[in-house]
């Protein structure tokens, strides 16, 4: 369905479920445990349009073309992945779906921050990044999540919000 919806668009859906997230980008839990959950699908800009092809060429010339996404897959890591979609059966668990989506989006935003910092030689705050939207689907229920950077008591962090839920990530 995602492939049909994006037909003729510069946006394409990518199944990222079997792919590994670069461990340097994963959030760290207590005792230095890194969460490795990930979402099912992400979107990317397809190279078929001249505008996107030029962007990929510019990134390659700048030396960033080999690692544009948060994955370690040799093909997918060269794509500008964004957003995320996590799908669960009706009894699959909304909390688990959110954990998987949040892990994916946090890794993507951290990757964006690192790429940006490489180009400007200064470390950027999460607040400097544009928000990232993702969806969890549990059964027939769709939930939209927006993740954005914020500062809380001087700590730079990412916050994941839904219309009915607020979940903070350190």
Residue 146: its pLDDT value, please? Answer: 93
Report how far residue 126's alpha carbon sits from residue 24's, in angstroms, rounded to the nearest whole number: 16
- Per-position pLDDT tens, the chain of length 170: 555 555 667 788 888 988 888 888 887 766 776 666 778 999 988 888 888 889 888 888 877 778 888 998 988 888 888 899 999 988 878 888 888 898 899 899 998 888 888 777 788 889 999 999 999 999 888 899 999 999 888 888 888 888 655 555 55
Residue 163: its pLDDT value, please? Answer: 62
Taking CA atoms, 66 is separated from 43, 60, 90, 133, in Å, by: 18, 7, 38, 24
110's enclosing H/E stretch is helix 94-120
Write down the residue that tokens 């700590």 correspond to: 155
Burial 3-40 (b: 16+ CB within 10 A, else e): eeeeeeeeebbbebeebebbeebbeeeeeeeebeebbb
**Are 115 and 63 within 8 A, CB to CB?**
no
Q: Which residues pair with 159 in a beta bridge?
A: 148, 168
Residue 117: its pLDDT value, please? Answer: 80
Residue 164: its pLDDT value, please? Answer: 53
Residue 167: its pLDDT value, please? Answer: 53
């Amino acid at each position: 369905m995602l492939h049909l919806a994006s037909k003729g668009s510069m946006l394409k859906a990518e199944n990222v479920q079997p792919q590994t997230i670069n461990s340097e980008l994963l959030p760290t839990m207590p005792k230095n445990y890194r969460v490795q959950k990930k979402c099912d699908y992400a979107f990317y800009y397809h190279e078929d349009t001249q505008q996107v092809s030029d962007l990929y060429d510019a990134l390659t010339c700048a030396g960033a073309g080999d690692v544009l996404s948060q994955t370690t897959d040799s093909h997918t890591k060269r794509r500008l992945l964004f957003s995320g979609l996590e799908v669960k059966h009706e009894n699959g668990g909304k909390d688990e779906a959110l954990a998987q989506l949040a892990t994916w989006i946090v890794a993507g935003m951290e990757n964006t921050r690192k790429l940006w910092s490489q180009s400007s030689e200064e470390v950027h705050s999460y607040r400097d990044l544009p928000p990232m939207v993702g969806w969890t689907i549990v059964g027939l229920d769709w939930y939209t999540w927006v993740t954005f950077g914020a500062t809380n008591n001087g700590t730079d962090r990412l916050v994941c919000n839904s219309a009915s839920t607020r979940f903070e990530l350190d």
